[in-house]
């Protein structure tokens, strides 16, 4: 069931895209800069007048454990959709971890007020359908500054209606309770970045460009998971080019080769070297047969006494 809030978001996004199509700019990643700067000025005015003062009071008045409980509660609700998106992106281990976090925190964590999952070693992730589209290979498209919703891209804008529809809080009744929760969540999220925004306001010369460039870089890093994990399109990609013989042999070193079909013709044995009629010299024979004692010497001839020609003496 699509709620009135969802319809309003869809209409706002459609109007935003239609208006953005009328503007052009010099930056190839921000061709709608003229429109985006107007939306940035509008959002900045709303933040200065309403959101930032409310976040400041929220952070100063409420005790820290209450703020932590509010963040844990809405963060636990987001874990459910995060787990689904991780599964859609082919990251099964992360998806199961997110769903386990949601189950543990919703039960043992008193409806998500306590973050038992992190204490149990279950890492928290943040995924939305825009990141899933990016993992599927959908290009980001131009940068867009959405009214009230803030920085986005054409691809991420297309995923927002589904993100809103998949939010469990969108089905809370009565409606006024749901609206109060939406406002509290927005103030809590603004309070978490209050110090960072104050620093940015002091440091950045052009806050629009600072926010735009930072958002696009961070968004790309989150879609690529910091560059460490393969996207789903890379997992499903197959290389149709046949591997050469060298790579196949290297990949399967124990494979004896093809077994079927005609046996390969053996290569002819090299012809024996012709024997030389010349006898090898003694030195080479002696080197080849170092243990050979050599030719056996002939026995010496027995010496016979010489026969004297003189008669014996009497």
Task: Report the mean per-residue pLDDT for the chain.
Answer: 79
Name the region of 124 (left: φ>0; alpha: ψ -120 to 50; beta: rest).
Answer: beta
Burial class from Cβ neighbours inside 10 Å (0-12, 13-18, 19+) for residue 44 reads middle
How confident is residue 259, by pLDDT bands cut at 50, 70 and 90? low
Tens digit of each residue's pLDDT (9 = 90 or more) over 78-98: 999 999 999 999 999 999 999
- 207 CA to centre of own chain: 30
Structure tokens at 213: 């460039």
Q: How far apart are CA 90 and CA 121, in angstroms?
A: 21
- For residue 264, the number of C-alpha atoms closer than 13 Å in the C-beta half-sphere is 6
Answer whether residue 224 shows pLDDT above 90.
Answer: no
Q: With CA atoms as reference, report the closest residue to 219 among 302, 295, 150.
A: 150
pLDDT range class, residue 201, cuts 50, 70, 90: confident
Three-state secondary-structure class, residue 151? strand
What pLDDT score does 225 carry?
78
Residue 197 is predicted with a pLDDT of 80
| C-alpha 59: how far from chain center | 35
In this predicted structure, the answer to whether residue 286 has a pLDDT above a threshold of 90 is: no
Q: Cβ distance 102 to 80 under 8 Å?
A: yes
pTM, full prediction:
0.66
- What the block records as the tokens of 29 is 């990643």
């Amino acid at each position: 069931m699509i709620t009135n809030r969802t319809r309003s978001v869809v209409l706002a996004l459609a109007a935003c895209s239609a208006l953005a199509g009328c503007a052009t700019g010099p930056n190839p990643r921000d061709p709608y800069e003229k429109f985006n700067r107007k939306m940035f000025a509008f959002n900045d005015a709303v933040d200065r007048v309403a959101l930032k003062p409310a976040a400041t009071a929220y952070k100063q008045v409420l005790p820290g454990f209450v703020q932590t409980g509010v963040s844990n509660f809405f963060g636990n609700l987001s874990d459910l959709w995060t787990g689904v998106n991780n599964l859609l992106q082919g990251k099964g281990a992360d998806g199961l971890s997110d769903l386990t976090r949601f189950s543990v925190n919703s039960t043992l964590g008193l409806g998500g007020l306590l973050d038992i999952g992190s204490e149990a070693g279950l890492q928290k992730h943040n995924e939305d359908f825009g990141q899933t589209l990016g993992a599927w290979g959908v290009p980001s498209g131009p940068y867009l500054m959405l009214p009230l919703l803030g920085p986005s891209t054409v691809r991420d804008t297309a995923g927002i209606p589904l993100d809103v529809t998949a939010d469990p809080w969108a089905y809370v009744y009565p409606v006024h309770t749901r609206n109060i929760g939406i406002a509290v969540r927005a103030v809590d999220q603004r309070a978490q970045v209050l110090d960072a925004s104050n620093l940015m306001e002091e440091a950045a010369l052009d806050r629009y460009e600072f926010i735009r460039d930072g958002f696009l870089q961070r968004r790309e890093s989150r879609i690529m998971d910091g560059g460490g994990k393969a996207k789903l399109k890379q997992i499903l990609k197959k290389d149709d080019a046949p591997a050469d013989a060298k790579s196949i042999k290297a990949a399967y070193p124990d494979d004896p080769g093809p077994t079927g079909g005609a046996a390969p013709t053996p290569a002819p044995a090299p012809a024996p070297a012709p024997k030389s009629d010349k006898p090898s010299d003694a030195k080479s024979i002696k080197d080849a047969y170092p243990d050979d004692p050599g030719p056996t010497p002939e026995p010496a001839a027995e010496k016979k006494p010489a026969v004297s020609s003189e008669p014996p003496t009497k």
